[in-house]
Amino acid sequence: MKKIQLLICDDHNLVSEGIAVMLESENNYNIHIVTSGKQAIQHLHNHEVHVFILDISMPEMDGLVVLDTLKEEKLSQNVLMLTMHDQAKYIKKAIEKGAKGYVLKSTSKTMLVEAIQKVYNGENFYDPRLTEILLNTSEESKNKQATHVKLTPREIDILKLIAQNKKTKEIAELLFISVNTVQSHKKNLYSKLNIHSVSELVTYAIQHKFIEL
């Protein structure tokens, strides 16, 4: 069985080494550890990585800047955020910048293993505790207003796929419709829900249980 190549980026060695020890018993991973965003980018340029486990708070280059750098340098990665930050602003930014998963450091081994597998398979995975956190943000009142908005079945299909990190072309192929039709439905979603970014669409999908956590 092919092992999953993991890269763990955290500036605290005890954290990274603890995660590695915990996961080694699974015997399903080759694990590499780096302690800075710069080291991570360099590693990604030179080695195959299936899942990139990334912290947010790091000196010089934090995890959100690393996500931006991945886009700038066209380093396509399955990124799983593993962080202590449970504030909605971090969750939304990470999703918007392309992270496929977001898990809190207080998570169990079972959930972390599940998250790694989901992200490895190209799926999204969000810590179930994020639902409550997102519901308690300052955006709650705006989203409550949107609760009563009626979406068409096609709009719901597209919302779910966007929340699964699917791109416009992929959505068009999966639903057997044109790219222009997908874009039109996305525009309608933004207008109906009074939101303005993909991260807000994902947040709405989580809050209103259009996707499973």
- Average pLDDT along the chain: 86
In the chain, the largest separation of any two C-alpha atoms, in whole Å, equals 50
Radius of gyration of the chain (CA): 18
pLDDT on residue 141: 46
Return d(Cα 103, Cα 130) in angstroms, integer.
9
Q: Where are the domains of the chain?
A: 4-128, 138-207
Quick count: other Cβ atoms within 10 Å of Cβ 4?
A: 19
- DSSP 3-state assignment of 154? helix
Q: Is residue 150's pLDDT more than 90?
A: no
pLDDT on residue 138: 42
Residue count (the chain): 213
pTM, whole model, 2 decimals? 0.73
| DSSP β-bridge partners for residue 9 | 34, 54
- Give Cα 200 distance to the centre of its chain: 13
Return d(Cα 161, Cα 197) in angstroms, integer.
15
pLDDT (tens digit per residue) in 39-96:
999 999 999 999 999 999 998 899 999 999 998 888 878 999 999 998 888 988 898 8
Residues 85-108, mean pLDDT to the nearest whole number: 89
Residues 97-112, mean pLDDT to the nearest whole number: 92
Burial class (CB in 10 A: 0-12, 13-18, 19+), 176: exposed
Return d(Cα 180, Cα 155) in angstroms, integer.
14
| DSSP β-bridge partners for residue 69 | none
Return d(Cα 86, Cα 173) in angstroms, integer.
35
Contact 193, 149 (CB under 8 A): yes
Q: Which CATH architecture has domain 4-128?
A: 3-Layer(aba) Sandwich (3.40)
CATH fold of the domain at 138-207: Arc Repressor Mutant, subunit A (1.10.10)
Q: Is residue 143's pLDDT more than 90?
A: no
pLDDT (tens digit per residue) in 113-141:
999 999 999 888 888 888 777 766 545 54
Question: Lowest-pLDDT range, 63-72, 134-143, 178-187, 203-212?
Answer: 134-143
| DSSP β-bridge partners for residue 85 | none
pLDDT on residue 212: 65
Return d(Cα 19, Cα 37) in angstroms, integer.
18
What b-and-e string marks burial along 111-142, b requiring 16 or more CB atoms within 10 Å of the CB?
Answer: bbbebbebbbeeebbbbeebbebbeebebeee
